[in-house]
Structure 1
């Protein structure tokens, strides 16, 4: 087997701009020009996906950059078919870089006769020949255990901490971190510890999926600059309602930091018209034109984080070192 001289990146159609950004950052880090492997990923008239790799990948350490965001099924199939193409082309190792892991919200059986789709997707990924997964802010940490291969789960929390300390530098003492539900307390507490801020919780009760019956703020938010922290914002109904309730309880202003901006349906319009002063998301999912045009939505780049994580995996060094904001600060120098 030939010795691998450098990592090789390949991308599907889900988030090409992020893939190109990762390639640029790796070029900067290494002083060696890194380009995406020349690939054709297209669809036949009946919707079937076809992949052709135009470069030799025999014995190479391959990284497929492909979030499984909307359309989740198409992007997932692209990932699986690309992996199969690389395996049949004798790639040495294939790592799936999945900035946003679709189907993660179906991580357990909530009632009788329902699937655990996250486990099914994990089985499909392993069966396609992928030997390692790199992702960010899994909706449920136990999903790592669904895989029989190594899974590196990065966190947006250090990135958010850096941004908050810059954006709110003159009023950090007034900042309070808010968990929009009881299930997200651990995530919110982690960020609160990083910036030494107090924590409050919005307790919500649902009558049925997609409908919120009641919301209550647990904690004193009066006069505070509140920052809601969550991993996913889909239709933004819960987020905007939580912001309203927090303002009704006396907060001076409300901002939100969300790892994955799914922002489907009326989400962007809701956010634009909401009481939130700003919503900060990452580019784990490619932002739509309406998202980019929204006056109160800002996108943080994850390319420096993923580029360094890929290099650490390739070099066989620690990925968990990137959980520390002090390690990320030099990587993001000039961005914040």
Structure 2
């Protein structure tokens, strides 16, 4: 060893050393291609190589759907641990960990604003929050979003991404299914559109309740949609099921969905759908009644001379 290796090289390396962020690149889970993080975010987390739609956060979903200047609403707080549930860890500990990771109080975020000028109330579920499971907090959020839509005379759009009911809340979680169904009825009875956008995955109690009650059902490409898993269904019916029978494209082909829309086109599609459902009704109500031309009076029959 000499002074070059002991002193000079470390000094030179320190001058040119640049710290590289650990998350600079992201590998696509479908095609396994490496994607530059900045390019991935610009593409709304859609792989530029294979078109695979990766999961995004609820907050990011609101940002890429609503026009700038939208407002998030504060949701009512549900009981933190109504059953004092504990498995390997306490339920309260799991909640605190999920809240710290996602910076959200529960598995849904609600905001109101405009989509290309069309007013809307949007609720987006967060799958990273305990698998997007539906507990009392999620049920309360959907009810609050429905009431806000009625109050603002705006359509309600829900982005679903959930693994089903939250087991730590037991029967209270199952009670959110009829609650959310009633919430959809509030919107429909007010004559407002209820649009559901199913993201990957949409399963369990969410699918069995409000997710399948929309006026328009849209899904992202490749989204997993169903109630139970494919293995459970195959074991129940004892038959081999078609390949990809729970994917968005298969459900569109068999009439369960109305549209399968790419994420880059979702905002424009939602604005167009709202315009088709709302604008014609408003124009028809405000348009002056057309004048109906008066019918000509019937001619009086002329008397014919009696023949001898």
More strand by share: 1
TM-score strictly above 0.5: no
TM-score range, shorter chain: 0.3 to 0.5
TM-score of the two chains, using structure 1 as the length reference: 0.30
Instruction: Give TM-score, length-normalised by structure 2.
Output: 0.32
